Amino acid sequence: MDEPTVPMGEPELWRASDYRRGLTPAAGAPPVDPRLRGISPSLYADLAHGGDEGRPADLLEALAACLRHGCAATLQLEWDDHVLPLTLFPRERLVHAPLSAAQLWGLPFERLRLIEVEPAALRPPGRPGRNSEASSPEAPERRHPPARGNGPLLTGPLGPDLLPLNPLDVDFELNLPLLPDAAPEQPPEAEPQAAGADCQPLARLAWTLARLGGREALLPGIAGPALYRCTPDSQLPGDAPPAWREALRRLRDQPVSVETVAAWPGMEPAQARRLLNGLYLQSGLIVTRSHVALTWSAWFGALLGPER
């Protein structure tokens, strides 16, 4: 008789080894469900090609792609020897997991690995008879039971609204999630609905993965030669380290390079990149890619010397 995979009273999760045996992708194929091709070519391209030297997307990249395109999806994650499904609802700013709030936020986020991206296996709370745009015409196979967690329903915006660009400000590019098109109508009751009590704030998940997850590199959307500045109303989570709060204050003053952020007190290269990733996921980062601006910044920084 097989041993239980989780403690008594908790939802049953697949073992990662069993789940991987059920996947039959071609050699080198990305971990993306083919049914996602039908929702958005650009989203599928983001997930399939990632952005770092053509490799498949990792967990943080998949989260960023779903936010950018406003598409709900279920991310199948490897959690030690188990498979954990996280269903993202970007429009509702929620994430659903078959765990209690205490279990979810106590996960070893640095060890979570993306196995596969699927159409959302659940409908978001409060939307009867309508599927998210990440769903295929056919209801996807339900691989996990509903959650039995007891976490409260928490909501909150991921970040400020999109800021208008002055046509003369050609040096600046706002790397913010795109406003999605209206969700298409779908046949009612094609998928089970997520219970509101089993959902948590998507903004908190984004910050947590940016700060504690396995990725230390900049996300593809903001990587490369660039200067960074945060939007005036950008905010950090309550548990952000003091060095991040001081860095946020400085990022409001003027655009700087990631190397400059890393040199600030209490910061270092990996922390600087994690902070910028988190701001990007909250729609709170402005990226400058102008050659003139980058050259001026390098010259001015050399003239003044390292910032104290």
Instruction: Output the CA torsion sign for 38, 40, 43, 45.
Output: positive
- For 165, half-sphere exposure in the C-beta direction (CA atoms, 13 angstrom radius) is 13
Q: Dihedrals φ, ψ of 230, to 5°?
A: -95, 155
- What is the average per-residue pLDDT within 128-134? 45
> Is residue 28 situated within a structural domain?
yes
> Is residue 243 situated within a structural domain?
yes
- What is the average per-residue pLDDT within 133-146? 39
> What pLDDT shows up at residue 162?
29
> What pLDDT shows up at residue 167?
29
The strand pair at 285-288 and 172-174 is best described as: antiparallel
Whether the per-residue pLDDT at 30 is higher than 50: the answer is: yes
Nearest-angstrom CA–CA distance, 47 and 88 = 15
pTM for the complete prediction? 0.69
Q: What percent of the chain has pLDDT over 90?
A: 43
Between 284 and 16, the higher pLDDT residue: 284
> Is residue 143 situated within a structural domain?
no
H-assigned helices in 24-125: 41-49, 59-69, 101-105
Q: Which of 69-83, 108-122, 176-190 has the lowest mean pLDDT?
A: 176-190
Q: 270 to each of 19, 106, 267, 298, how far by Cα in Å?
A: 32, 22, 8, 21
> What pLDDT shows up at residue 219?
95
Whether the per-residue pLDDT at 201 is higher than 70: the answer is: yes
Total count of domains within the chain:
1
Q: Dihedrals φ, ψ of 5, to 5°?
A: -90, -20
> Is residue 97 situated within a structural domain?
yes
Q: 149 to each of 10, 104, 120, 146, 168, how far by Cα in Å?
A: 8, 9, 19, 9, 51
pLDDT band at residue 91 using 50, 70 and 90 as cut-offs = very high
Amino acid at 115: I
> Is residue 293 situated within a structural domain?
yes
Whether the per-residue pLDDT at 153 is higher than 70: the answer is: no
> Is residue 115 situated within a structural domain?
yes
Q: Give the structural domain span for 297.
A: 16-125+153-182+190-304
Q: Rounded mean pLDDT of the chain?
A: 72
Q: Which of 27-31, 124-128, 202-206 has the lowest mean pLDDT?
A: 27-31
The CA-based dihedral angle spanning residues 272, 273, 274, 277, taken in that order and rounded to the nearest 10 degrees: 130
Highest mean pLDDT among 36-45, 87-96, 288-297: 87-96
Q: 253 to each of 5, 188, 224, 250, how far by Cα in Å?
A: 51, 50, 22, 5
Between 152 and 118, the higher pLDDT residue: 118
> Is residue 258 situated within a structural domain?
yes
